Chain A
Amino acid sequence: MDSARRITINPITRLEGHGKIEIFLNEQGGVDRAFFQVPELRGFEKFAQGRPAEDMPQITSRICGVCPTAHHMASTKALDALYQVTPPPAARKIRELVYSTFFVEDHALHFYFLGGPDFVVGPQAPAAERNVLGVIAKVGAETGLKVIAMRRKLRELMALAAGKAAHPVFGLPGGVALPSRASR
């Protein structure tokens, strides 16, 4: 295949996960076929089998280290269903606090660090600038530092309730591991 007629984007970046895009052009230079490939598989579907159900929140969070809280919470809710238990109001609020915090933090991450830079710095900017450092250069260090500090505080808040921000450890069937933070 003539290389002028094949465009390879490898790897796709600024998201979690391995991906590659192959675009094939026709004689006129238009797109004839495009393929998105995921050249990776770990096999959680298989190796989760045989593990105790209550270990799932911590094992499945490793599906994605950028959004581990989502996987942790989904597994935790599956445990609620499995054990047929409803978390008491305080536990529910703690879960909601962690998840809402994650929601804000993850969106900030996406906007400033991952997907956003292509738009903020612009799609034509060189690769070396289409990233968080380019965003900071564009919006100014003051705003940039504010965003970084805000994200840090959100992650600290998550760690307070969930143990770890990266791969939380608080989800249990029917509740949470840490009822309150009397002391630490």
Chain B
Amino acid sequence: MKPKVAFYWCASCGGCEEAVVDLDEELLGVADAVDIVFWPVALDFKEKDVAAMPDGSILASFINGAIRNSHQQEMAELLRAKSLVVVAFGICAQLGGIPGLANLSDAKGILAEVYRDGVTPARRYSENGYSLSLPEFFDTVVALDRVIQVDYYLPGCPPTPNLIRDAVHALLAPELPPKGAVLAPDHALCEQCPRKDSRPEKLLVKEFVRPHQVVADQQTCLLAQGLVCLGPGTRAGCNALCIRGNMPCTGCFGPTSRVRDYGAKALSAIASVIESNDESQIERALEAVPDPVGTFYRYSLPSSMLGRRRME
């Protein structure tokens, strides 16, 4: 019997599940090697099919998305019970991702904005004697490892097909990677960047510019051009996709293993290139970073040291 593998999505965009489709021809190889028993974007298996499986019968569940409501938490718990290995698949599951920016608000604030004066979703609803329920919408988004034990992490928004393929093979190999491993290279993105040779040894800039304010040179290190490129603080693995598209890295692969708080690391990497000791000059340079939390914690707010905004 082939080992069983599941994919599931929590608070995410479906891009991680689509990234599995982007294995293209290799998807057929994966489908030969394993039985995919759950994968909502591509297969029609239901929650009850998973619930009916014996505990521990799935080799690996790749769970993407952050945890933002009680149903996602229940599904994570269900898949944890059924699986020998759980992989936090993609940056939302690993660190909270873009849905984690919701931690700048809370349930009340979000519901009020989305539904305005309309009908607000209720946890229980009944009509004609028929009763329906909705999950609890949490105040705070958390990463997957806050609700279940996670064995491995696969970073990226989304992880690249190469990394996914390597991860599947790593889990099928006789010797598993060390528990807790992030299944991507453990060095900074700059090392994978086609422009790294143009990055000066001691990189200093007088001011920053926003991407729409310049015509960025296509060969030179973007940070050296004053664009806030988070390559120095971000884990390699994507092969510098954004930079190849002439746009700065926004950090979707999270930090390397030596870093506890991605945003703090990214912030200090950027702050340290400002060529000035003069406070007003520094302030002026930072005017080009009008949204520090959305810039440095774009994908990692829930797993940061602060975790969320303190609501009054």
Question: Interface of A with B (CB < 8 Å)?
Answer: 1, 9-11, 13-18, 22, 24, 32-33, 35, 37, 39-43, 45-47, 49-52, 54-55, 58-59, 61-66, 68, 79, 83, 109, 113-114, 118, 127-128, 130-133, 136, 145, 148-149, 151-152, 155, 159, 162-170, 172-174, 177-179, 182-184
Chain B contacts for A68, CB-based, 8 A: 13, 15
Cβ of B14 and Cβ of A33 under 8 Å apart? no
Contact A178/B245 with A10-B46, A54-B212 known, Cβ cut-off 8 Å:
yes
Complex: chain B residue closest to A109, CB-CB: B21
The reply to whether A39 and B14 contact each other, CB–CB distance below 8 Å, is no
A43 to B102, Cβ gap below 8 A?
yes
Which of B46, B105, B157, B242 is the one whose CB lies under 8 Å from A47?
A: B105
Q: Is the CB of A177 within 8 A of B14?
A: no
> Does B24 contact A149, Cβ atoms closer than 8 Å?
yes
B82 touches A (CB below 8 Å)? no
Known A11-B47, A39-B69, A66-B14: A55·B247 in contact at CB below 8 Å = no
Interface residues of B (CB under 8 A from A): 9, 11-19, 21-22, 24-25, 27-28, 31, 40-49, 68-69, 71-72, 97-99, 101-102, 104-105, 109-111, 113-114, 121, 127-128, 130-132, 134-135, 137, 157-158, 194, 210-212, 215-216, 218-219, 241-242, 244-247, 250, 290-291, 294, 298
* Interchain nearest-CB distance for A103 vs B (Å): 16
Report A-chain residues with C-beta under 8 Å of the C-beta of B18.
16, 65-66, 166
Given the known A-B contacts A14-B42, A113-B21, are A179 and B98 also in contact in the complex, defined by CB atoms under 8 Å? no
7 contacts between A and B (CB under 8 A): A62-B157, A64-B15, A65-B18, A163-B244, A163-B247, A172-B211, A179-B215
Q: A51-B291, A66-B18 are in contact. Are A152 and B24 (CB under 8 A)?
A: yes
Query: In the complex, which residue of chain A has the Cβ closest to the Cβ of B238?
Result: A164
The 9 closest A-B pairs by CB, nearest first: A163-B245, A65-B15, A16-B14, A43-B110, A65-B13, A47-B101, A169-B247, A178-B246, A127-B44
New A-B contacts (14) at CB < 8 Å, excluding given A33-B128, A41-B69, A136-B28? A13-B46, A14-B43, A18-B9, A24-B128, A33-B127, A45-B113, A45-B114, A46-B102, A46-B110, A51-B291, A59-B294, A65-B13, A152-B24, A178-B247
